[in-house]
């Protein structure tokens, strides 16, 4: 797997929550994910959950930034969240593989 390939949902689901949390605490992504559940981060990393993530982003935008509450902005934020979550799971896999 290269850094440009997405991690499959099956692999994401197979990674232990304990391992995800451990890598997250050491990651430079930690400030962005602090207070977000590991299950939510899993959902953000899955393409099949994109509409759910977009809906959540849209609700947050309507509440906190009504001037930016457009589907284009929600899509942009959902894509950024997906990419960050994928990056985190790549770090988890790299950590797991380095222990072998």
CB of 18 within 8 A of CB of 95? no
CB of 41 within 8 A of CB of 20? yes
The residue behind tokens 């950024």 is 80
pLDDT category at 33 given cuts 50, 70, 90 is confident
pLDDT 10s digits, 61-90? 999 999 999 999 999 999 999 999 999 999
pTM: 0.85
Q: Reduced to 3 states, what is the DSSP secondary structure of residue 27? A: coil
CB of 79 within 8 A of CB of 47? no
């Amino acid at each position: 797997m290269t850094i440009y390939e997405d991690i499959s949902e099956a692999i994401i689901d197979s990674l232990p929550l304990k391992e995800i949390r451990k890598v997250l605490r050491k990651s430079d992504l930690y400030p962005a994910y602090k207070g977000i559940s590991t299950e939510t981060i899993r959902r953000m990393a899955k393409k099949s959950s994109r509409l759910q993530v977009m809906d959540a982003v849209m609700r947050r935008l309507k509440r906190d930034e009504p001037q930016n509450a457009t589907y284009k902005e929600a899509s942009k934020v959902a894509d950024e969240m997906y990419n960050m979550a994928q990056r985190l799971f790549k770090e988890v896999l790299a950590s797991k593989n380095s222990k072998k």
